[in-house]
Amino acid sequence: MRLVEGTATVGDLDAFLGDLTRIGDDTGCTVQAFDARYVVDRTHLARALALADRAFERGENVARDRGVEVMLYAAGRRQIDRALTMGVSEGERAVVVLVAAEDGSDETAAAAAAEAAAADAVGDLLDPASTLGAVDEALVCDYFDVRERELTATAGTLADVVHERVALLDVRK
């Protein structure tokens, strides 16, 4: 898995998503874009990818598309419409784009090459910027329904709580 960070200026959302789909199709990779304000860290998306792949292996996936299933796990929700809130929208946005070889492994040379090609092509669509630190804590707390009381009752961080929400999606199915 690779994460491509940057700023996207999206004038036509369908065209931008079409470009990402085309890159995925051309390289044999899943390419899924996220609004960086919702992504707490790399682990957030890595765990969502691992759980989405496990859901497909077990035949328990909700979405037919691997990228959408990753989005569901990243959002900690089974409703596609609600999960898509974490996606990109029109305008200038800080984004994080997940690129993952379709075979579920980045350990083979072919998968690594496919991910590198996809990441380079995605990078051409973005203005380079470090965006993983662009999390909007108030937005994340609202989206994941994290209250101050929960944060003060735990020794963990907001990222830890979000990781838990991602992991608990399987339990709530």
Q: What is the pLDDT of residues 14-43, one digit of tens each?
A: 999 999 999 999 999 999 999 999 999 999
Confidence of residue 102 (pLDDT cuts 50, 70, 90): confident
For 62, the domain range is 2-172
- At residue 59, does pLDDT exceed 70? yes
CATH number of the domain where residue 165 is located: 3.30.2380.10
The CA-atom distances, in angstroms, between 95 and each of 13, 22, 78, 155 are: 13, 18, 22, 29
Class of residue 58 by CB neighbours under 10 A (exposed 0-12, middle 13-18, buried 19+): exposed
* Count of the separate structural domains present in the chain: 1
Confidence of residue 116 (pLDDT cuts 50, 70, 90): very high
pLDDT at 172: 54
Helices (H), the chain: 13-27, 42-58, 66-75, 80-83, 109-123, 137-143, 148-152, 158-172
The full length of the chain comes to: 173
Burial 110-128 (b: 16+ CB within 10 A, else e): ebeebbebbbebbbebbee
Confidence of residue 9 (pLDDT cuts 50, 70, 90): very high
pLDDT at 156: 79
Please say whether the beta carbons of 4 and 119 come within 8 A. Answer: yes
% of the chain beyond a pLDDT of 90: 73
| Average pLDDT of the residues of the chain | 91
Class of residue 79 by CB neighbours under 10 A (exposed 0-12, middle 13-18, buried 19+): exposed
Q: Give mean pLDDT, residues 81-108.
A: 88
pLDDT at 40: 96
Residue 13 CA to residue 109 CA, distance in Å, equals 33
- At residue 152, does pLDDT exceed 60? yes
Least confident of 9-23, 65-79, 125-139, 150-164: 150-164
Confidence of residue 154 (pLDDT cuts 50, 70, 90): confident
Residue 9: strand pairing partners: 92
Q: Give mean pLDDT, residues 47-51.
A: 96
